[in-house]
Amino acid sequence: MTQLFEVATPDTALLRGVTESAHSPLRAQNNVVRLQGISRRFGHTQALRDVSLTLQKGEILGLIGRSGAGKSTLIRCLNGLEQPDSGVIEIEGRNITGLSEKQLQAVRSRVGMVFQHFNLLSAKTVAQNVALPLKIAGMDKAQRQQRVAELLELVGLADKAQHYPAALSGGQKQRVGIARALAASPALLLCDEATSALDPETTRSILALLKSLNQKLGITILLITHEMEVIKSVAHRVAVIDGGEIIEHGPVWQVFADPQSAVTRTLLRGLLPQLPDNLAARLSQQKQGEVIYCVHAAGDDAQGDLLTRFAAALPGKFRLLQGGVEHIQHYAVVRFFIALPASNIADEQQILSWLHTQQAQVERVGYVASHD
């Protein structure tokens, strides 16, 4: 079992927002979305269980979870396609739970939707696809044309207005989808696996576009995905959903630095330094050979090149096995693995003491029988 030696971080509940005061007057004014105690069951399946979240004006929240975790049900509740069994959903302060289909139409005009597979009409041009929600809303032709031109310029497709979807690349189709979702100037943009059907390079360009739109328009974005790399690229906060429950929630940099749940650690596995496979396969909890530690630090505690200072302070006391520094949301996130002789208790205590003074977290992950 992993043993935790230090958890010397600022107040976790405050930083992670788990107990955020969503009901304070100032925060309430800024809330574009407030979910309180949302539950939804389909037969014997509990799709959502007591979900509470807020999205403030101008922020990007990443909602991440594996297939079947509840992401799709949550987004369908947000756009009114599903009604929760219990709880409250507010969009810009208006409770949408229990509204009729006619009443929901006004709410949906404030919510734009970007789909995984674009959902463009193949028989209509790019301009016609983007204009469709404006036409349905009753906007006159001249205004529609002006708005469509503005939107296509915004997403970098001004020269594709008269093309049909079949002539576009996947990334271009998604840009059309984003332009259409922005047509009615919504307060909230829901992106449902918006990059899952795209190659890595195109994904980066779409994420850069979403980030730019967030900054230029101040639009609030809920980004639903199963890819932690997507969250890392653009989101301000992340909520991890599993089994219909929010199991972890907080600023992206801090969740990356110190994931609390096994699910989050699994989702992060490809993005954070890991113990080399040859050592991981030989790990034991029986004291022998070398003891292996994992060291975490983030934010101010990770500044000033922690690893370099560590090596300078304690030369020859340990072996560096794996590690690195990430910069997420302007915060440094450090994670590295070290090994030292299990028999040298004095050096072990000196190392732990020094790391403690640096406000680092240290996990003893096990022992290996011999020097590799």
Detail the DSSP E strand segments found in 305-345.
319-328, 331-341
In a domain, 260, yes or no: no
Across the range 3-27, mean pLDDT stands at 38
Residue 269 is predicted with a pLDDT of 82
Residue 294 is predicted with a pLDDT of 92
Helix residue spans in the chain (DSSP H) = 12-16, 25-30, 71-78, 101-108, 126-136, 141-154, 170-181, 200-217, 228-234, 252-257, 262-268, 277-280, 306-313, 345-357
Across the range 123-130, mean pLDDT stands at 96
Residue 238 above 90 pLDDT? yes
In a domain, 2, yes or no: no
> In Å, how far from its chain's centre is CA 140?
39
In a domain, 201, yes or no: no
Structure token digits, residue 104? 């929901």
Least trusted range by pLDDT, from 65-79, 149-163, 271-285? 271-285
- Give the model confidence (pLDDT) of 334-349 as tens digits: 889 999 999 889 999 9
Contact present, 95 and 88 (Cβ < 8 Å): yes
pTM: 0.82
In a domain, 159, yes or no: no
Residue 23 is predicted with a pLDDT of 44
Structure token digits, residue 263? 């699910």
SS3 assignment, position 327: strand
- Give the model confidence (pLDDT) of 209-234 as tens digits: 999 999 999 999 999 998 888 999 89
Q: How many CB atoms lie within 10 A of CB 194?
A: 27
C-alpha separations of 210 from 103, 118, 130, 335 in Å: 29, 15, 17, 29
CATH of the domain at 330: 3.30.70.260
DSSP 8-state secondary structure symbol assigned to residue 272:
S
Residue 333 is predicted with a pLDDT of 85
Count of structural domains within the chain: 1
In a domain, 303, yes or no: yes
Residue 301 is predicted with a pLDDT of 65
Residue 21 is predicted with a pLDDT of 41
Residue 367: phi and psi, rounded to 5, are -125, 155
Residue 187 above 50 pLDDT? yes
Would you place residue 12 in the very low, low, confident or very high pLDDT band (cuts 50, 70, 90)? very low
Structure token digits, residue 57? 């004006």
Q: How far apart are CA 214 and CA 158, in angstroms?
A: 20
In a domain, 105, yes or no: no
Domain of residue 284: give its range. Answer: 274-368
In a domain, 285, yes or no: yes
Closest by Cα among 159, 185, 173, 193 to 129: 173
In a domain, 45, yes or no: no
Across the range 113-126, mean pLDDT stands at 93
Contact present, 3 and 9 (Cβ < 8 Å): no
Closest by Cα among 321, 214, 247, 224 to 51: 247
The residue length of the chain stands at 372
What DSSP string runs through 77-118?
A: HHTTSS--SEEEEEETTEE-TT--HHHHHHHHTTEEEE-TT-
